[in-house]
Structure 1
Amino acid sequence: MRARAEAKAATRLRVLRAVLELSEEKMTIEITLDEVASRAATSVQTVLRHFGSRDGLLDAAVALASAEVEQERRAPAGDVAGAVEAVVAHYERRGDFVLRLLGQEHDPRIAAVVGPGKELHRRWVEDTFGPQLQARPEGDREALADLLVVATDLYTWKLLRRDRGLDRPTTQSRMHAMVTAILAGGD
């Protein structure tokens, strides 16, 4: 019984990984159940048995990716260097993919993914820089959080890394300088 449960869980994870891999290669709307099943070395029927529908499959893939993103971005509260390092590493891994998603956010399914992602980023800023935010007068915290959101945003990484062509250490250093300047200057 235990072996069967482990095999079922492994198949489920293989299918979810297949969806995530395919979503890095093409627009989500273009992904078919046949492609997912083929990539996961299983059948469409097995995919449907696990997830019920294509929508159920995509919802489960979003949930898995969201959990992984939260883990990747984890940094000790108040650790500016650690926070910037974590977010840049996250963008190095997933940034181009998320930029493609943002380009599709007119699709309601994609909007349902990127909307919570934007909220996650704001929460990450508020949690990660919580000690610095709490040290400020209450009226200044929201403005300061706004500035920190921008300084650590995916589009900031894109402007430096992709548009300017800077290497990872320079990008990280410039984002760190922005965060440090924001924290030193208040709002």
Structure 2
Amino acid sequence: MTETSARPYRQVARAAATEKTQRRIVEVFFEQLRSKWLDEITLDAVAAGAGTTRQTVIRLFGGKDRLIAAANDLAYEKITGRRRLPPDASPAAIARILVADYEIDGDTIVRLLAQEQQHPELTPILIEGRAGHRAWINDGFSTWLDRVPASRREGFVDELVAVTDIYVWKLFRRDFGHGAPAVTDLIAGLLSKVLAEASR
């Protein structure tokens, strides 16, 4: 292999290594968001967890703002996969999928929401998350929503967003101390009541 032909190979290998490092940094940062407040997370700790240096983290991301955006992209990728609904899923099936997702990242989301006023840099990703949840409702409940007159549709979407909100899970799971199966049944019951009204 000549020097000229080897150069593109080295460039591809270098790009792949950089992408792998970026992914590792984002995953470490996301894991720290699960258990720490944003102020407690340092670039040094993220670098150490990812097996790299603080300078590399800064070179690749600049600081926490871009790490937050990258972590949000990673979370969206995972949540989208976990929340995929089968066609014509029942309220009970939807509740099971939703609660299973909240069991993984619910506490992290609640922690981020609690920091929104103190850290405005979180607002864009939280707005995106709220919009994503509403889009999931529109898509997952389309069978029921298509039966609702257009003038009433958004009102029913609001109700479905409310009964599937992260704070409903937190109330049942953390504040009331119910287990995940009981929370699933409670949310399924709330969904059934809203959907029964939508079918009238």
TM-score normalised according to structure 2 size: 0.86
Structure 1 pair 77–102 and aligned structure 2 pair: CA distance change class (3 A): farther
Kindly indicate whether the alpha-carbon contact (under 8 Å) linking 2:172 and 2:183 is maintained by their aligned counterparts in 1: yes
Partner secondary structure for residue 48 of structure 1: helix
Deviates more, 1:99-108 or 1:28-37: 28-37
Give the Å deviation of 1:57.
Answer: 2.5
Matched, 1:102 2:90: no
Give the Å deviation of 1:77.
Answer: 4.6
Give the Å deviation of 1:3.
Answer: 4.0
Matched, 1:30 2:19: no
Matched, 1:182 2:194: yes
Partner secondary structure for residue 76 of structure 1: coil
1: CA distance, partners of 2:111 / 2:65: 20
Q: Percent identity?
A: 38
Give the Å deviation of 1:175.
Answer: 0.6
2: CA distance, partners of 1:57 / 1:86: 28
Highest RCO, 1 vs 2 (Cα 8 Å, sep ≥ 6): 2
Residue 164 of structure 2 aligns to which amino acid in structure 1? Answer: T
Determine which of 18, 28, 35 is the counterpart of 2:28: 18
Determine which of 166, 169, 182 is the counterpart of 2:181: 169
Kindly indicate whether the alpha-carbon contact (under 8 Å) linking 1:77 and 1:129 is maintained by their aligned counterparts in 2: no
* Deviation digits for residues 102-137 of structure 1 (CA, Å, limit 9, x no counterpart): 111102112222121111111111111011101111
The number of residue pairs the alignment matches comes to 187
Kindly indicate whether the alpha-carbon contact (under 8 Å) linking 2:82 and 2:97 is maintained by their aligned counterparts in 1: yes
Residue 63 of structure 1 aligns to which amino acid in structure 2? Answer: D
Determine which of 38, 41, 57 is the counterpart of 2:51: 41
Deviates more, 1:17-26 or 1:60-69: 60-69
Structure 1 pair 143–78 and aligned structure 2 pair: CA distance change class (3 A): farther
Kindly indicate whether the alpha-carbon contact (under 8 Å) linking 2:95 and 2:184 is maintained by their aligned counterparts in 1: yes
Kindly indicate whether the alpha-carbon contact (under 8 Å) linking 1:14 and 1:40 is maintained by their aligned counterparts in 2: yes
Deviates more, 1:2-11 or 1:156-165: 2-11
Q: Report the counterpart of residue 79 of structure 2 in structure 1.
A: 69
Structure 1 pair 97–66 and aligned structure 2 pair: CA distance change class (3 A): same
* Deviation digits for residues 5-27 of structure 1 (CA, Å, limit 9, x no counterpart): 33222211110011101111211
Max radius of gyration: which structure?
Answer: 2
* Deviation digits for residues 66-107 of structure 1 (CA, Å, limit 9, x no counterpart): 222222222135313332111101110011111111111102
Kindly indicate whether the alpha-carbon contact (under 8 Å) linking 2:68 and 2:122 is maintained by their aligned counterparts in 1: no
Determine which of 59, 70, 82 is the counterpart of 1:60: 70
- Unmatched 5+ stretches in structure 2: 1-8
Partner secondary structure for residue 121 of structure 2: helix
TM-score normalised according to structure 1 size: 0.91
Q: Report the counterpart of residue 93 of structure 1 in structure 2.
A: 104
Kindly indicate whether the alpha-carbon contact (under 8 Å) linking 1:48 and 1:54 is maintained by their aligned counterparts in 2: no
2: CA distance, partners of 1:78 / 1:141: 18
